[in-house]
Amino acid sequence: MAPAFRNSYKAPEHVPGNDTEPPESYDINCNIPIPSKLETDRVLLVPFVPSLHAKAYYESWTPDVDKYLPISTPTYQSFLDFVENMIKRSPNSVGFAIIDKTRPADPNSKIPGRVAGIIGYLNIVPSNFTLEIGPVIVLPAFQKTFVASNAIGLMLKYALDVPNEEGTGGLGYRRVAWTANPFNVASVNAAEKMGFKREGLIRYSWVLPEGRPGKEVDKRRGERNGRDSVLLSFCWDDWENGGRELVEEKIKRV
């Protein structure tokens, strides 16, 4: 008789997101140290807290923002649900609000500038010193400006710089990944311009939201379409051999 194995796994419960939790009690819930801010002269990154940043972000959101992403946030509540269940409740993920400090601040807001998008880390594996930058969402009004290069540069610097004796510096990680929809040429180009190297194509890496065009699959494997991903990486040796200087140059460009 075959042995009876026990499997007590329970799927995570879907929890509705909200924008009412005060910043002082909001739990980032991440498996790496998270700085209170990352900053250049023009861009500020702070941990994304819905009560501070969600409305300002979503007021400038358009459907095109999600066009190439494996997520769909057609309503404000669906966006809050995404932040709660895909970022906050995943200890290997964290999101940052991208703030353009050159834009006038809303006098009714605590934000020192304007929310220009979201950027984060995904698939963080501390034991392997690896992580992925994503999602990277720059709102339409801030695209084709310095915002993306500054935000990506800050995330690279924190991931790949080594810690210093003062306890600051970066994480000293060995590999930073970037994945993109093959049709999102702008995303692939942005990564390559920042120093990422293309490694290949990951086939069927995502199940897309219902109704989203993509790669059809045998319906016995689910109804929703699939998506491939272009895989790029920026590794520690790239960083030490001119990569850091390239990123600094991109951050400073006008």
E-assigned strands of the chain? Answer: 38-39, 43-47, 94-100, 114-125, 130-138, 175-180, 197-207, 226-235
Tell me, yes or no, whether 122 lies in a domain: yes
User: CB-side exposure of 145: number of CA atoms within 13 Å?
Assistant: 18
Digit-coded pLDDT (tens) for 77-110: 999 999 999 999 999 999 999 999 999 988 878 8
Residue 97's domain is classified under what CATH number?
3.40.630.30
Give the residue, 166 or 16, on which the prediction is more confident: 16
How far, in whole angstroms, is CA 130 from its chain's centroid? 14
Tell me, yes or no, whether 14 lies in a domain: no
On the question of pLDDT at 165 being above 80, the answer is no
Tell me, yes or no, whether 124 lies in a domain: yes
Tell me, yes or no, whether 87 lies in a domain: yes
Tell me, yes or no, whether 98 lies in a domain: yes
Digit-coded pLDDT (tens) for 232-242: 999 999 999 99
Say what the pLDDT of residue 167 is: 64
- CA dist 224 → 105, 143, 210, 217 (Å): 41, 30, 6, 8
Tell me, yes or no, whether 207 lies in a domain: yes
Total domains in the chain come to 1
Q: Give the pTM.
A: 0.94
